[in-house]
Structure 1
Amino acid sequence: MFESLGLSQESLDLYRLLLQQPDLANTANRALLCAELGLPEGEVEQRLQGLRELGFLALRWDNSGDEYPLDPSVTLEALAAKRQSMIGDLTKDLESDRLRASEFISDYNKFLTQSAVPDVEILDSGDKANLRMQRFHPVKSMWGLIRPGQLATVPDENFADKRIQERGVECRYLIAESQLKFRGAREYIALLQEVSGQVRIIPSVPFKLVIFDGESVAMNLDPDNYDAGAVVHHSKAVVRMAVEMYEHYWRFADRSFERTPEAGELSGQESEFLRFLVQGATDEQVARKLGVSMRTVRRMAAKLSEQVGASGRFELGVRAAQRGWVD
């Protein structure tokens, strides 16, 4: 029970015996004590010395040189307090070691970031991402993929992109189709187009992304959580991949904000819905990718199912493929 503090089971048994028969602690009765324990005198003396060091034995007041066992309410409480103190010291040491370990890991991670991936910046919060974005000053181009829910009408004097456009920077914006239903969206688009901003509509936007001068690309660390921060890539491979992806979206984007599909023709959102459906996406995932509500997704599914005579999602996917609506 208290082995870590020097009180073995053998010492505890000896202490219990002395509490029951205090006279056995007297020097004159040492032979009786050895007989009671069945041990040689040398080993018994060793155990008695252990009890003395723990403060379990005390000299009698009569100057006889004999000893007596102290009350367990005193001895065991003192032993428990000593153990508690040791635990407290150990806890402090562990906390100190943990702090040093964290600092060591942090230093190593910084070393890895600086030496192994110098072309990558990790901004681990939305505030840091905002501050970093303000330090970009493009001189040739700025291309953005704008996620649903991020448009808002802003006064001209506070519109940072307008100042960039006025410097002659080519500004392109790809906006999710679902944005058009939000109040103020068309006014925001008009503001983007006022100087030289070019805006096109696509059925869905996979994540927020901005390409600066074809040399740096910034995107969210977590496509579904803006507060998680952002990552900025400067490496040629990643930037080239982002540029080619953007140009693909741009070529096939819709330049009209008023066009409605003809009878029997799929809208862009419906095509994207079917594409996500055959990929196995859930309704929640489809709604997030399209920037629409769950109700809109279910209404879209019901409409398309009725159009092709499908009784379920799997059958809808099969029939859509048969009609050539999805690859």
Structure 2
Amino acid sequence: MKRTVATLADGREIIYFDHPGAPDRVTPDPRALDPVSTASQIRHDPVLDEWVIVASHRQNRTFLPPADQCPLCPSRGDRHTEIPSPDYDVVVFENRFPSLSTHAAGGEVPGLPELVESAPGLGRCEVVCFTSDHSAAFATLSPAHARLVVDAWADRTTELAALPGVAQVFCFENRGAAIGVTLSHPHGQIYAYPFVPPKTRQMLANAATHAERTGRNLFADVLAGERETGARVVTATEHWTAFVPAAARWPVEVHLYPHRRVPDIPALSDAERDDFTHVYLDVLRRLDALYDQPLPYVSAWHQAPTGPGREHAYLHLQVTSIQRSADKLKYLAGSEAAMGAFITDVLPEDVASRLRDIGS
């Protein structure tokens, strides 16, 4: 992998990840840009014991521009984008409209109740462009190119986890207008949180309880149970298993687990990274074939936090979709949105069977 670091016109970092032999990517950014906002803050909800990120400057971020004005395409001719180079393989850069910032200074909020703590939204938000091809998708990448993305995730996880105050690194992709994507170019994001998010806290607390009771790892036992029954396994290889969880919340939900317990993406071996690209591309292509159309989804890496709870973590990827049929979406209504109690309209076993049949 060829790694090149440069700086954008407003001081943000940009990193090119290219296949060996690629040309040099250091191209000046001629744009005149306003300074990046440092107003991000976090506020603590004492009732739920959760931190909420407040980033009001994001209201004016770029929203669904036409393809010929895409800010994630390479810069060519007189059109200058977020990527100054005229081409790239994979590129990562600091978000121009970050939810969290290493320079955040928005912590002091007058008039808050005594019970509500606030602090600057310290952290970092990055954009990961999977390819320079605007019309592509992760599912259309070659295994070699997908492996380059995995290596970029690993690189950024290592660097961001080392930043002062970062509690967890979250790599993810939002895909499709139905999910709320504001840029159609194939890309993902990475958040370096200053706190451990609620879902991770709950999972690790449950894993700690399970370990105390059984002496075993919760995630490893879940994987072993799914592999043993096989009823919801979509596909499996030497190093990975993809399955629909028995208590799936979403109409389409697939989890991908490595067979070896590791805390995060950097800990994956070369063989495990190579194997992942084949399994993941296979799963994504099955998902697109499910309704014979691109499936909107959220693809979320669950990595270990940098501090307490790391000993119970088990790296895995969750892909979820709100598409409950070819022409219907699942909306989070009363029970889900207000109470967090999910009601699913489809049997997980049926979804797994349909996804298996697509690949047969």
Q: Would you say same fold, with TM above 0.5?
A: no
TM-score by length of structure 1 reads 0.22
User: Which structure is higher in strand share?
Assistant: 2
TM-score by length of structure 2 reads 0.20
Report which structure shows greater RCO (CA 8 Å, sep ≥6).
2
